[in-house]
Amino acid sequence: DVKVTQSSRYLVKRTGEKVFLECVQDMDHENMFWYRQDPGLGLRLIYFSYDVKMKEKGDIPEGYSVSREKKERFSLILESASTNQTSMYLCASRDLPTYEQYFGPGTRLTVT
Amino acid sequence: KQEVTQIPAALSVPEGENLVLNCSFTDSAIYNLQWFRQDPGKGLTSLLLIQSSQREQTSGRLNASLDKSSGRSTLYIAASQPGDSATYLCAVPDSGGYQKVTFGIGTKLQVIP
């Protein structure tokens, strides 16, 4: 069974703090994704990593950066957290060649 | 740019009813289509993946069909149960580039005992 884990289920941070969200997958997948999900807006892609060497901006990268030092780990960084980054953050990995996506349990981040 | 629409946005049915959820997409040059289930406050669970060369996929009481030419997929749930209550999302990889994925906003299903 593919397993995607995220470092925290719930997180509360203060405005201006640097926040790290970590995601680990155990199936040797090349592709990994970070999404945020907000009511009425659905899932929006923040960043995408095709492999360890390549990171691509998604639809809403502003205020975020990513790190992928190892194939199994993809980290999302909020450089200076703001209240409008309060959201559910979902990590996913993708199997090639089927292109099937697998999701982690999500991190509910609240920025106060 | 790919756009994915799911209708209806919400659905409430009595237990035991068979039901159909709809997903439509604008760019028919898709590689595959994936259906997910999401329980409140949780991540997405993969239900079915249909490759572009397939017409349908089945898993237990679930059957998903794909009609690329019309840009549509349906998820059929037989003999619905209260435990099926969740939000159902469909997702389609973009046809070009690195194949980023576009999601529908989902259909929120409530099965009433």
Q: Rounded to the nearest 5°, which phi and psi values hold at A84?
A: -75, 0
Task: Quote the tokens at residue A49.
Answer: 């990593």
Interatomic CA distance for residues A104 and A75, integer angstroms: 13
Q: What is the pLDDT of residue B113?
A: 96
Q: Is residue A9 very low, low, confident or very high in pLDDT (cuts 50, 70, 90)?
A: very high
A64-81 pLDDT, tens digit per residue, is 999 999 999 999 999 999
CA angle A53–A42–B52, rounded 5-degree value: 65
- Among B46, B51, B89, the residue with its CB nearest the CB of A102 is B46
Residue B99, pLDDT > 80, answer no
Interface of A with B (CB under 8 A): 4, 33, 40-43, 45, 48, 50, 56, 58, 88, 90, 92, 98-106, 108
* Interface check B66 vs A, CB under 8 A: no
Residue A112, pLDDT > 90, answer yes
| Mean pLDDT, rounded, for B17-26 | 96
Enter the DSSP assignment of A99.
Answer: -
- Among B93, B100, B104, the residue with its CB nearest the CB of A42 is B104
* Interface check B106 vs A, CB under 8 A: yes
Residue B100, pLDDT > 90, answer no
A10-58 pLDDT, tens digit per residue, is 999 999 999 999 999 999 999 999 999 999 898 999 999 999 989 999 9
Measured CA to CA in angstroms, residue B76 lies from A84, B40, B68 at distances of: 37, 21, 17
* Interface check B44 vs A, CB under 8 A: yes
Measured between CA atoms, the residue of chain B closest to residue A56 is B98
A contacts of B104 (beta carbons < 8 Å): 42
